[in-house]
Amino acid sequence: MVAASEASEASDVAAERHGHERLRRAVSDWGGWVALAAGAVLCVLGWYGVSGQSLTERQLPYLASATIPGAALIVAGAVLLARDGTGSGTAAGAAESRVEELYRLLTQDEEPVPTSAAPASAHLVAVPGGTMLHRADCPLVAGKPEAAEAPADEERLRPCPVCEPPAPEPER
C-alpha cells in the first residue's frame, strides 16, 4: 500500500513536470519573438532619432535609451529562440539527458549494495594498468567499464582499502 501510493505520487509529479515544461517552452518561445520584435522597433526608433540629430551629444541619449536596449532585446530573443526552437533537439535535449543520467546515477548510489549477492572471491576486478584489486561493487571502479575480472593469482595487485576485497588465496 505504501509502495502503491508512492508510485501514484511519482506519476503525478511526472505529469506536473511535463505540463510545466510545455508551458515554459511556449512562454519562452513567445517571449523570444516578442523580444526580437521589440528590439527591432527600438533599434529603428533609436537610429531614426540619431539620424535626426547632427550633434553627437544629442545622439547619445537616443543610443542609450533605444538602440542599446533594443540590441540587447534582439540578442535575448535570439538566445531564447535558439534554445527552445532549433536547439530543443540538440543542446537542450542533451542537457536534459545529462540531468537525467546524473539523477539516475545519484539514485543508483542511494540503493543499498547487496553484499551477499555475489560470492566475494568470484567478482574481483581490476582496472588495466591499475595497482589495486577491487570488489565488483567498489565505488572506485563503479564508473569504469574497462575494469575487468582480475585473475585471482594476480600478485602485483594489492587489495583496495575502500572495498577491502578478500586477499587472494595464499595457497601456492
Q: Which residues bind Zn ion (CB under 5 A)?
A: 134, 138, 140, 160, 162-163
Nearer to Zn ion, 64 or 162 (CB): 162
Question: Measured between alpha carbons, how far is 40 from 67 in angstroms, rounded to an integer?
Answer: 9
**Residue nearest Zn ion, Cβ-based:** 160
Are the beta carbons of 28 and 92 closer than 8 angstroms?
no
Nearer to Zn ion, 73 or 134 (CB): 134
Least separation in angstroms between residue 139's CB and Zn ion is 7
Least separation in angstroms between residue 84's CB and Zn ion is 44
Question: Measured between alpha carbons, how far is 155 from 67 in angstroms, rounded to an integer?
Answer: 73
Nearer to Zn ion, 85 or 159 (CB): 159
Structure-block grid coordinates of residue 26: 511556449
Least separation in angstroms between residue 20's CB and Zn ion is 41
Least separation in angstroms between residue 164's CB and Zn ion is 8
Question: Measured between alpha carbons, how far is 93 from 30 in angstroms, rounded to an integer?
Answer: 20
For the chain, percent helix, then strand, then coil, each to nearest 5? 60, 5, 30
